[in-house]
Amino acid sequence: MFVIDCRKVNFAGAGEEGSAMEPFAIHAERFVMPGRLAGPGYLSVSKEGKFDFFSFERPEGKIVEAPGTWVAPGFVDTHIHGFFGHSTTDADSAGIEASSIELAKHGTTSWLPTTFTLPAEEISLDCKAIAEVARSHNDSWQGARIQGIFLEGPFFTEEHVGAQDPRHLCDPDIGLFHKWQDAAQGLIRRSALAPEREGSLAYIAALLGEGVVAAIGHTDATYEQAMAAVDVGATSFVHTYNGMRGFQHREPGVVGAALSTPSTYAEVICDGHHVLPAAVKVLVAAKGWQHVVLITDCLGCGGLPDGEYVSGGLPVVMRDGACYLRDKGSLAGSVLTLAEAVRNVFNWNLVTAEQAIRMATEIPARANHIDGQCGKIAPGRFADFVVLRDDLSLADTYVGGRSVQGS
């Protein structure tokens, strides 16, 4: 097994803590603005590292030239288990920080650290460690911003447990949720469950009342059971196609519910391993790109070399761009980045470049009720953005108006 000490990571921006920056405007070919694709033009960034206004005319002051590029909001990963040798289940604040730094260098500027199915007390410790990092950041932070927490489990079914630990599965329990939410200092934004489990509908209704997104995943629910969950407030499907009852013409299953509910959001892992491009095409055609969320489901070994690792307490093998359970050989998770996912759906000719970018920015933010903090370029928000080449490959990432690629 590879053992990598990620505490040696150079935390970018540390020497600039609390310092003001020189305001500037970036000049590029295309800008993905909230209401349109604009450009060529200029996007101004204030000395506080926040977005100012877009203009077609050259403003006064410093100009950063980015010829032939796209400028877009930083990518928003709302289902991710870690990166660069650290997992969200390590209950390690330093590891969460290291992951955040590396994610920003790969284009992701906001994320929801995602838990696994583990003993309840371990989930509490994981939530506590994530919250400590999130609450410690100031305006000079140079990593991906923690916009909340996604609880992936433990309210799942064994039939589709996937890489979750079956020993810790249980029925939905709002009391447990409140325990975890207390540890998270109110940061939990989303919780997933299998609708066929006892008490699931009451749990979903309770989440709805607290402004938390209920997600359907790792489930063998029938179409009717899944629709009953949607009826009481579930609005999201976890990594659609993976870990759920598939579509049959006499039993549409969970996939059928995801495809046929236009108001819900469907995650999809576009690494070419978890879901083939043709299936992604079906999903986009059925729901419209405005309700398809690009995610990575990346494990803590993302960004590292191929080899053997531990994820969610289970041994995994990373090879050829994906992770597999060592003992079963089945997929355990991805090592994808959102920058790669955006290029994939564009290169597969499924959506336009603009749509691909929005599926990794404003759509995940809206689906998880964090669009007030991230996912779009708007005056007064932190200037977290990416610069993409014409082929959508990542050229640069800015967090708070500062480039992090060279740090």
- Catalytic (active-site) positions: 297
Unique residue bearing structure tokens 């040696």: 8
Percent helix, strand, coil in the chain, to 5, is 30, 30, 40
* Closest of 127, 235, 241 to residue 188, by C-alpha: 127
Beta partners for residue 41, in sequence order = 28
Phi, psi for 392 (deg, rounded to 5): 70, 10
Give the list of residues 6+ apart from residue 250 with CB closer than 8 angstroms, or none. Answer: none
Within 13 A of 75's CA, how many CA atoms are on the CB side?
35
- Give the number of other Cβ atoms within 10 Å of residue 304's Cβ: 17
Within 13 A of 374's CA, how many CA atoms are on the CB side?
28
Q: How far apart are CA 286 and CA 284, in angstroms?
A: 5
For residues 133 and 98, the answer to whether their CB atoms sit within 8 Å is no
Phi, psi for 294 (deg, rounded to 5): -75, 130
CA-CA-CA-CA torsion for 74, 76, 80, 84, nearest 10 degrees? 10
Residue 332 is inside which H or E element, if any? strand 331-334
**302 to 163, 256, 297: CA distances (angstroms):** 16, 31, 10
Q: How far apart are CA 46 and CA 40, in angstroms?
A: 20
Give the list of residues 6+ apart from residue 100 with CB closer than 8 angstroms, or none. Answer: 111, 133, 143, 144, 145, 146
Give the list of residues 6+ apart from residue 363 with CB closer than 8 angstroms, or none. Answer: 265, 289, 290, 291, 292, 293, 294, 375
